[in-house]
Amino acid sequence: MEKHPTLSSTSLKLRDDQTMYKGKVRDVYFLPPDRLVSVASDRISAFDVILPDPIPHKGQVLNQLAAYFLDLTRDIIPNWLIDTPHPNISIGYACRPIPLEVVVRGNLAGSMFQKYLKGKRTFDEDTLLDGIKEYQEFTPPLVSFTTKAIQGHDESISSSEILSRGILDATTIDLVKSYAIKLFEKGKTVSEEKGLLLIDAKYEFGWYQGEVYLMDEIHTPDCARYLYLEDLLAYQKHQTPIQQLSKEWVRIWLKGKGFLGLPTQEAPRMDENVKAEISQLYINVYEKLTGRKFMPLTTEQLDSKYLESCVLRVLDN
């Protein structure tokens, strides 16, 4: 099978006063006083572990799809994005992060469904009834919070705990919840028009010049879960398998290999076929949601000097 170029890491030299943070997927360059350059690599993580094999074209899909939805939702909330000088790169405002992830769930699925099966009924301020089936729709969507851990696992946190810890006041909690629901509803509308169902999504917010801004990525296969609408209908009628259109596919593959991200475990390696299947999944979601043909980059277009030149052309203007 043909090997495709990948972007595993970067070491851009943009300015003398830059600082750099390497996340699970993105390399972020901070440029004082208030700008950042975010490079979406092809790294992939699951269970809070960076897996050893990068996925071709993944970073490009994440960056371009996030930019697509950030532009679509500017009427809901201001966001950090200023420009995308390269398919893998975004330049934006360096917001002060709110150390929380906001999770909006439109259907009972994933880890929430597993907890529900084990008897849990209360999730933050919402109490679920008995007898709810997998993928059953929530009207309105449910909103919950997790802590944003720099290392290790994120943990669930209630609105009352957010208040008591002084992370946010009650007014800002309500504002962030309202923003998250509106963003989710926009994503759900767009996806359903394209034959997909947005199951759940994570959002991150921060402060910029005294206002709450949307940060990071939005509605990508890394931070949201999609299904084909026709798959869900078939599942509800005949219990036929559902194709996962998100990073959930990778989690399921890893579980099948016995990997759960435990400290004593070593992540399994992926062969070229598995990497190609994941890559195509991401590309399919991008093309389905945007209606645009995906144009993969060449090795030369992922070269460090080329990345630098694309960013510097924008910064110098």
At 206 the pLDDT is 99
Using 50, 70 and 90 to split pLDDT, how confident is the model at 216? very high
Question: Is residue 6's pLDDT more than 90?
Answer: yes
At 111 the pLDDT is 85
Closest CA to 98 of 211, 253, 259: 211
Q: pLDDT tens digit string along 19-75?
A: 999 999 999 999 999 999 999 999 999 999 999 999 999 999 999 999 999 999 999
CATH class for the region spanning 19-95+272-315: alpha beta
At 149 the pLDDT is 65
pTM: 0.95
What are the b/e assignments for 18-45, b being 16+ CB within 10 Å? eeeeeeebbbbbbbeeebbbbbbbbbbb
At 237 the pLDDT is 87
Question: Is residue 195's pLDDT more than 90?
Answer: yes
Question: Is residue 239's pLDDT more than 90?
Answer: no
At 316 the pLDDT is 83
Mean pLDDT calculated for residue range 2-24: 94
Q: Where are the domains of the chain?
A: 19-95+272-315, 97-238
Q: pLDDT tens digit string along 283-307?
A: 999 999 999 999 999 999 999 999 9
Using 50, 70 and 90 to split pLDDT, how confident is the model at 272? very high
Q: pLDDT tens digit string along 110-162?
A: 889 999 999 999 888 889 999 999 999 999 999 999 997 655 567 889 999 99
Question: Is residue 260's pLDDT more than 90?
Answer: yes
Using 50, 70 and 90 to split pLDDT, how confident is the model at 312? very high
Q: Which fold has domain 97-238?
A: D-amino Acid Aminotransferase; Chain A, domain 1 (3.30.470)
Q: What is the mean pLDDT of the chain?
A: 95
At 84 the pLDDT is 99
Using an 8 Å Cβ cutoff, are 101 and 156 in contact? no
Mean pLDDT calculated for residue range 190-215: 98
Mean pLDDT calculated for residue range 80-94: 99
At 152 the pLDDT is 55
Question: Is residue 1's pLDDT more than 60?
Answer: no
At 79 the pLDDT is 99
Using 50, 70 and 90 to split pLDDT, how confident is the model at 188? very high
Percent of the chain with pLDDT over 70: 98
Using 50, 70 and 90 to split pLDDT, how confident is the model at 279? very high
